[in-house]
């Protein structure tokens, strides 16, 4: 039977629209079952707490459980690869951190390319760090510390949570920009206990280090962010003494590449709406994080920029994983 041209065009248009309508309906219904958020770090740490906070917000808003699954090891690469290999259906997500930006250079032979294989969904927060010293160090400002380090080349110990950790990379960035020579001392966990004991002189610590600043166990010289922090208004930035210095971690949500755009957009909207909740904002601030809500495209640009920036630092400092 010959179909009239007008009817044929109408049928063809309907057939072409059908997959789009199906995808839209799928995205509107999403999620219909529990969603996993893979965290590449142990339970109980700051990163894990943020993941659980966001997961609970998404569960409340979307009516399905968002379950946190800790897949630790290899500097978060095991967890990341779990998501890279997962179906691109929105039911396996990744808590993205600055470690992913570092690992692209630290581990050149990974079985995946983070920027290519993970779709950016939403930014959550930026993570400030603070430069802290043992009280015995005769420096109360970054300028005085630089002068002291230059007068004692190779005699200042800089502790970190391990080779390629944020504290290590941010410290190497400081060394290069300030022109000082310090010995890196890697630990398997926090270096702050040995900083308090005087075994190391300086640590670039996450905001958990503030717990030791207030009782005077360590001294805060500066924060690593571009601007001062509301929680530490009297503590200057490193950039006030070393122009151009800025360093901070970041957290966000990613998904396997080819995850439908409608699902990515829905997750982005719901995560950003949750981040606008004063209760969520306050809890993140208590943990030392600054809310950073963006579009998925903006988060993708942040990841690319941070990967390039820290890749240069890692290569220049010849940092290698232990």
Is the pLDDT at 11 greater than 70? The verdict is no
Residue 235 and residue 137 share a domain: yes
Separation between Cα atoms, residue 107 and residue 321, nearest integer Å: 8
Separation between Cα atoms, residue 171 and residue 310, nearest integer Å: 12
Separation between Cα atoms, residue 158 and residue 200, nearest integer Å: 6
Is the pLDDT at 205 greater than 80? The verdict is yes
Residue 122 and residue 197 share a domain: no
40-44, 121-125, 208-212: range with highest mean pLDDT: 121-125
pLDDT in tens, 84-113: 999 999 999 999 999 999 999 999 889 999
- pLDDT for 108 equals 87
Residue 219 and residue 143 share a domain: yes
Residue 181 and residue 116 share a domain: no
CATH of the domain at 183: 3.40.190.10
Separation between Cα atoms, residue 231 and residue 227, nearest integer Å: 12
- pLDDT for 26 equals 54
Count how many domains the chain has. 2
Q: How many other β-carbons are positioned within 10 Å of the β-carbon of residue 231?
A: 14
Residue 61 and residue 121 share a domain: yes
User: Which region among 161-170, 245-254, 268-277, 285-294 has the lowest average model confidence (pLDDT)?
Assistant: 285-294
Instruction: Tell me the C-alpha to C-alpha distance, in Å, between residue 58 and each of 31, 83, 147, 268, 307.
Output: 10, 19, 49, 10, 28
Give residue for tokens 């380090």.
Answer: 149
Q: What is the pLDDT of the chain when averaged over all its residues?
A: 92
CA atoms in the 13 A half-sphere facing the CB of 271: 31
Question: For 295, phi and psi rounded to 5 degrees?
Answer: -75, 165
Higher per-residue pLDDT: 15 or 174 = 174
CATH of the domain at 79: 3.40.190.150
Higher per-residue pLDDT: 23 or 74 = 74
74 burial (CB, 10 Å; 0-12 / 13-18 / 19+) is: middle
- pLDDT for 24 equals 55
pLDDT in tens, 143-153: 999 999 999 99
Expressed in angstroms, the distance from the first to the final Cα of the chain is 73
Contact 209, 184 (CB under 8 A): no
Sorted by sequence, the CB contacts under 8 Å of residue 196 that are 6+ apart come out as 134, 212, 217, 218
Domain containing 117 equals 32-127+248-316
Residue 133 and residue 121 share a domain: no
Instruction: Tell me the C-alpha to C-alpha distance, in Å, between residue 176 and each of 103, 202, 236, 316.
Output: 20, 16, 20, 9
- pLDDT for 286 equals 86
């Amino acid at each position: 039977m010959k179909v009239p041209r007008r009817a044929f065009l109408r049928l063809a248009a309907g057939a072409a629209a059908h997959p789009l309508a199906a995808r839209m309906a799928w995205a509107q219904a999403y999620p219909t079952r529990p969603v996993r958020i893979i965290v590449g770090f142990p339970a109980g740490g700051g990163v894990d707490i943020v993941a659980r906070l966001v997961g609970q917000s998404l569960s409340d808003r979307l009516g399905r459980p968002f379950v946190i699954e800790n897949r630790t090891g290899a500097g978060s690469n095991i967890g990341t690869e779990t998501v890279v290999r997962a179906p691109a259906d929105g039911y396996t997500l990744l808590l993205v951190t600055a470690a992913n930006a570092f690992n692209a250079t630290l581990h050149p032979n990974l079985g995946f390319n983070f920027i290519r294989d993970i779709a950016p969904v939403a930014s959550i927060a930026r993570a400030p760090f603070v430069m802290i010293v043992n009280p015995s160090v005769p420096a109360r400002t970054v300028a005085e510390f630089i002068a002291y380090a230059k007068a004692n080349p190779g005699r200042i110990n800089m502790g970190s949570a391990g080779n390629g950790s944020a504290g290590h990379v941010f410290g190497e960035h400081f060394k290069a920009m300030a022109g000082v020579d310090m010995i890196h001392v890697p630990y398997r966990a926090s270096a702050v206990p040995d900083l308090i004991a005087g075994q190391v002189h300086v640590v670039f610590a996450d905001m958990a280090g503030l717990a030791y600043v207030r009782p005077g166990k360590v001294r805060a010289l500066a924060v690593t962010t571009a601007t001062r922090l509301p929680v530490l208004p009297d503590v200057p930035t490193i950039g006030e003494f070393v122009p151009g210095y800025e360093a901070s971690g970041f957290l966000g949500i990613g998904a396997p590449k080819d995850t439908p755009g409608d699902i990515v957009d829905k997750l982005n909207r719901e995560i950003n709406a949750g981040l606008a909740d004063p209760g969520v904002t306050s809890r993140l601030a208590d943990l030392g994080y600054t809310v950073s809500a963006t579009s998925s495209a903006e988060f993708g640009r942040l990841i690319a920029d941070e990967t390039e920036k820290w890749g240069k630092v890692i290569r220049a400092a010849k940092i290698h994983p232990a």
